[in-house]
Every structure is written in structure tokens, then in C-alpha cells.
Amino acid sequence: MSPLNLASPPPPRRLKRLPLALLLAGSASWTHGYAAESETPVPAPAGKTATATSQLETVTVTTRRREESSQDVPTPMSVVSGTTLETQRVYRIQDLQQLVPSVNVAYMHARQSSVSIRGLGNNPASDGLEGSVGLYIDNVYLGRPGMAVFDLMDIEQLEVLRGPQGTLFGKNTTAGVINISTRAPSFTPERSIETSVGEDGYFQTKGTLSGPLNDQLAGRISAYRTRSDGDIKNEFNGHDLNGGSRDGFRAQLLFKPNENFNLRWIGDYNEEDSSAGTRVLYNTGPTINGVNLYSARAAAAGATLVNGSHRKVNLDNDQHVTVHQGGTSVEANWTLPSDFTLTSVSSYRFWNFTPRNDDGLNVPATYNAGVSVEDKQYSQEFRLASPKGEFFDYVLGAYYFGSDLDNKSFAYYGPQADIWNGTPRGALANVNSVGRGHIKTDSFALFAQGTWHLTPRLDFTAGVRGTYEEKNAWVNRDAPVGGAAVTGAAATARRGRTGAYDSGDLNQYSSSPSGLLNLSYRFTDDLLGYATLSHGEKSGGVNLVVGSAPTAGADSLLIGTERANNAELGFKSTLWDRRLQLNANVFWTQVNAYQTNAYDDVNRVQYLTNAGSVRSRGVEFESTVIPLRGLTLNFNGSYNDVSYLSYKDAPCPPEVSQAPGAPASCDLSGHQVVGASKWIGNANGKYEWNLDNGLQPYVTGSYAFRSKAVGTVEDSDYGQIPSYAVVNLSTGLRGDFNQGQWDISLWLKNAFDKTYYTTLWTGGNGGYEGLLGTPRTLGVTGRYDF
């Protein structure tokens, strides 16, 4: 069987038609609220139609643990309002990269997902390691990236901070932070209901109810359900894949007996039952001496390959994941004498993930393989903020984070396993292998950040953090079960891949300092310049899945600390009578002992490693302009050159590893880091106007471009993600009705039906599998706020 020609364009996609009444209904849209770091209008209250505006309004953030305009914060950040997320149909964290610069979300499913900023942090499936990008929701750090893979419901605001963080709150991170804030209970009644219907069986409904329970207590409850049939066809049985259902709710209470104290309790639960993460065949890898190993072994096993760019797979077993997660948190704020503010944030969260993964073939090479995870985490944070308006103001605090994680790795091989894996006959056929890993983390930190207002225009800020972490872990694997009795080479191969193993106790202790120096100067009331030097460290981790007993001993399963040094220079400006905002910055970051994932082609497992040093440098800009009343335009982009300064003993690409006399490892120094596009550009606009009868029509459009990127760590010529651009359009109409506001909208995502890949994955035998982006999807949304 010859390699597939995956470069040919797919045939036109046959759309599932919607009823004509739905197609004529109207559309969701951008609010003025989106503007990376822009100052934006507040959405109209229920019962009043929003009026077209001609000036940008202030966006308030609490990034420095004080309420202030985003334009007064001397650091690169992007702010997206919750209204924007709702109207632009951005309801998943993985879609965020179409809105802001320098962000990449590598997503297959909840476990194999990661967020990177400026090209740093792309580490999917790292059970024994925290991310380089910190994810927070309502001031609670999420220890697993998959904890953020749920529908973004009832969001107040989302902030993206770029560069090392940790001198102000929570966990220390080396690449940045995504901080999500949900809407709090209100003492004025709020009610909303929203329903969306789209192609491929897409259906989503959301609802929120909020209001006072008495003079001192308010409540809020929000719930959602999302389902879809899927957009990938399984040729084996005709079923649709990459769909499923997600459900969740969030309940809150706000206790506010007086102006000096408030307490907010949040409880939430989310679950998923889907075929998310269905990978399609991207290509079959290199042909060496006339042989394409992927195609040859597939043919020998009797498999029939299909072209993944046609949104097709050929799987003889299930592709399925289930996720159950939830938690609770309590945040209390006291205003003390002399206007000091004391804050306490306590939380508990759990996250359970169970997969069922096919081997990508329509023959039984592997019946099921994957890693299930059960994780529990606890955190406690105390912060004390000094009064505002003094010559010197500061925030200091203490933080504890604990987690207890167990995983179970399993592989249930079928009768064709030896042909597909290239092992001696009988080594893996009908063999079952189960392994387990455990890691307990205790992290303690003290942090402080202060600002000296040296003159009315000149500020100097310094921050410091000290973190101490203990990690205790073990990894083991049971003896293999099943299969025929074997000797010789087959027995050696079976032992190497599935043999019993016990690491014993693994312990890691680390002390990680972080620091920040910042100088900002307000040249005019509308122009702020700043310069920053920062250092961030992130503790090491443990490989909790092993393909074979490590030859260097159990200690080789430990991953070292990641250290980042960062410098940036930028400005923020609000011009043209508050109708134009323009912010830009340049940055230079060097990371030593960069933590990343590599692929063991022999044992077919991903593993964590320290990949030498990495340099990330570039420029970012963000702008919003209102050229005329009712028209808002947003532009942002980044150029990011991120490459390995030194990465020796790296995994080799298949065109090298499969060649005669292949080296055991390769030198990837100078190569681009996986998943990082050099060029990112986003543009969007919205125009709305008012009719004499009180109705308000609107139209929107957005364009998101990403240049090509390295798909997997070994930087194979066959594993490159091509550049792509996605266009989204919408139109709609809103108006008042019975003391409320209705809004009906018609939206079209990926308007030109671009076939694009968001993530690539090593598929074994030199081949690569990919995750396809959303196809062209037409839908309608109706919303009523009252």
C-alpha cells in the first residue's frame, strides 16, 4: 500500500440543512467589550436596548489586587469581556487563541490539553507536572489544564497576563496567567435564558438566575447543557465522532452584612460524555528506500487508511472520554482599620478523567489504550493589601497548594499488535498491561509586591516570591496478562514494553524564587510607558507513565525545575478623544531546563523531559478604534520567535530514526519550539445602529490568522502544522420587551470552510495524526434578559 496523498484538497463538504425559519432569524455578535486590553462600553442593563457609542469606556481589572483601569497597569495583558465571549460564541478555552495574541491552546481532550503563551508551556498529558501557564477561575488555581476544559458560562471577564507571574497571587508560573472571573450574585434581580441551534446536531441552552435572598444575602445559579452529533465520519460503522454532551452548573451565595466585609461561596460541577479528541490521519510519514513504514505495517495488518483531511476516520473500536469535575471555594474580604484589606481564598476541587482510545485502524491492533486520572486539590491563600493613595502601597501574602493525583495507564492489545508495532510474533498479541502512578504535592509560598510612587508620573515596583515544594510519587506496572507463552526475542520485547516495574518512593524537594522589577512613567495623561525585568521558576515533576523500565534508574523519572528570565518594554495609550487605544510591547525571555513532552517511538508513550534552554522574543500589539458612532474595530497581533538555544539528546524525527545507521538522539538546537506560530493576527469589527422604533440591528465579522508551526517536539518535516485563517460572521437584532431585552442572532463560524489543524500528534511508525478545527457551522441563537 502506498502512502496516502494527503495534500489533495477535500471535496466540498455537504452541509446539514437548517430550517429556513432559523436561517432568517438574526445573529450573535461582538460587543464593544472585546478589545485586547481595551477600554470598552458596559453592556446595557436588562430592559434597555444598548445605544451605539462613540467613545471607549474604562475596563476595570484587579490584576494588582486593586481595582484600576487596565490602561494603568504597566504589564502586557489582554482583557476579554464575558459579553464578548457569549456573543462571539467563544464558550471553550481552546477557542481563546482566535481572540488574543501570543496564545496557543493544544487540545485533544480534557487530559491532553495545554495552554502556552509566547510559545512556552505546550505540555499536554503531563499528570506529574503543573503547567507553565497558570489557569485561575475566581482566584482559584487549577492544577490540571483539563479543569478549564468546560463551557465558559456566565463569565464576567477573562484576563491574559503574559510573562512570569507569582509575586501577587497563587501559584508561580513562568509563561503567564489566564485569569477567569465569573459574575457574582447581585442584589438586583437578574434572569437570562439562551438557546442556540446549529449544524451537525449542535444544541446549547444556558440559563442564569440571580437576586437578593434578604438584605444581606444574594444568590446566583447558572446552568448549561451542550450537545452535538460530531463532525468526523467513521467509515467503519457510519457513526459521527468528535461530538457528545457537556453539562454543568454553578451555584453561589454572597453575604454582605456591611461595607467592610463580604463573603462569596461558589460550588460548581461539570461533566462530559463525548468522543472529543478524535484524531484523523494527517500523513503517513517518510518513505525510506521505497518503503513507507506506516502504510506497510497497516497493510500487513489488513487495515484500510482514509484521508483525514476529508474529516474521516476508520476505527473498529470506540473513541470516548468521560470527565467529572467540580469543587467549592470561599472568598472573604475584610476592610480593616486604616483601609487595609485582608483577603482569604479557600478551595477544594476534584477532577476525574476516563478515556477509551482506538488505535486509529479498522483492525484490532489495540482494543483500548490510554490513561485515566483522579485528582484532588486543595488551596488556601491569604493576602493583605495596603491603602491606596500612599507614597508606597503593597500587597503581601501566603499561599498553600496541595494535590493528590492517581492515574492508571492501560493497553489492551489485539491479535494484530505485533504486526503494527513491529515486535516479534507473539510479543504483544492479546496481551493486557496495566500500570499506576501516584503523586502528592505540597507547595508553600510567601509573596510580596510594592510600588513606590516616586513622582506624580514615575512609579517603581518590586516583587518577590519564595516557593517551597515537596513531591512524593511512585510508579508501578503489573506483570502482563494474556497472550501466548513466548521465549527469546518475543519474551524480551514483551518484558521491555509491558514487564512488571516498581519505582519505589520518588521524592523531590525544591525551593523556587521569583522576582519582578518594573519602572513605569506616564508621559501624558493618555500615554504610559514601562520597562520590566522578571524571573520565574516552576518546580519539577515526575513521569507517571513509563514505557519500559528506565535504564538510568528510577531517579531518571524526575524532571528538573524550569527557570525563566524575562525583559520587556512597552507602552499603553488612549488617543483621539478616547476613540483610539493602542498598546504595544517587545519582549525577550530565556527559559533554562525547559519542560516539554517527547515521544518514545519504541514504546509508543509520551514522556516528560527537560529540553535544554529556550529563547522567546518578539513584539505584541493590541488596538481598538471607534472611527464613527456605532462602529468598533479591534486589531491585535504578535511576532514570536521561539527556538531552542540548546537541546541536545533530543528525539529524532522519523526521517532520521528510520534511516539505516540512525543515531540514538538528535541535536535540535536552533529549531523552533513545538506549537508556536511566529505570526498571529486577529481583526474583528462590529457595527450597530438604532432604528426609530427602538430596535437595534448589528453586524459583525472576525478574522484570525496563524502562521505555520512545528507540530511535535522532534520537528519532523512531516509533522508541520500549516498556516491558516478563519473567518467568523454574524448579524442580529435586539430590542426591548416587557421590562426585558431580547436578542436573536444568526452566526456562521469558519465561513469559508477552511480545513485546518490545531494540533498534531505522533501516531507511531513515523506517521502523524491531527486534530481538525471546527468546520463551517451555521447556527442561530436566541437570548432574553429580564
The pLDDT tens digits of the residues spanning 206-239 come to: 999 999 999 999 999 999 999 999 999 999 999 9
Which pLDDT value is given to residue 611? Answer: 83
CA 245 to chain CA centroid, Å, is 19
Q: Are 366 and 412 in contact (CB under 8 A)?
A: yes
Which pLDDT value is given to residue 551? Answer: 56
Cα(first)–Cα(last) distance of the chain, in Å?
Answer: 62
What is the Cα–Cα distance from 701 to 696, expressed in whole angstroms?
17
Q: Are 746 and 23 in contact (CB under 8 A)?
A: yes
Which pLDDT value is given to residue 43? Answer: 39
Phi then psi dihedrals of residue 616, to 5 deg: -125, 125
The three-state (H, E, C) secondary structure of 162-181, written as one string:
ECCECCCCCCCECCEEEEEE
Which pLDDT value is given to residue 391? Answer: 96
Please identify every stretch of the chain with a pLDDT value under 70, giving residue numbers as ranges.
1-53, 124-125, 547-553, 599-606
- Beta-strand ranges (E) seen in 12-145 are 60-61, 68-69, 77-81, 103-107, 113-117, 133-137, 140-141
Q: Are 97 and 702 in contact (CB under 8 A)?
A: no
Report pTM. Answer: 0.90
What is the Cα–Cα distance from 62 to 395, expressed in whole angstroms?
12
The three-state (H, E, C) secondary structure of 638-649, written as one string:
EEEEEEEEECCC
Q: Which of 426, 239, 393 is nearest to 318 (CA)?
A: 239
Which pLDDT value is given to residue 19? Answer: 34
**Within a 13 Å sphere around the CA of 499, how many CA atoms are in the beta-carbon half?**
13
Which pLDDT value is given to residue 52? Answer: 59
Single-letter residue type at 635: F
Single-letter residue type at 235: E
Which pLDDT value is given to residue 602? Answer: 65
The pLDDT tens digits of the residues spanning 424-446 come to: 999 999 999 999 999 999 999 99
What is the Cα–Cα distance from 299 to 426, expressed in whole angstroms?
19
**Within a 13 Å sphere around the CA of 147, how many CA atoms are in the beta-carbon half?**
25
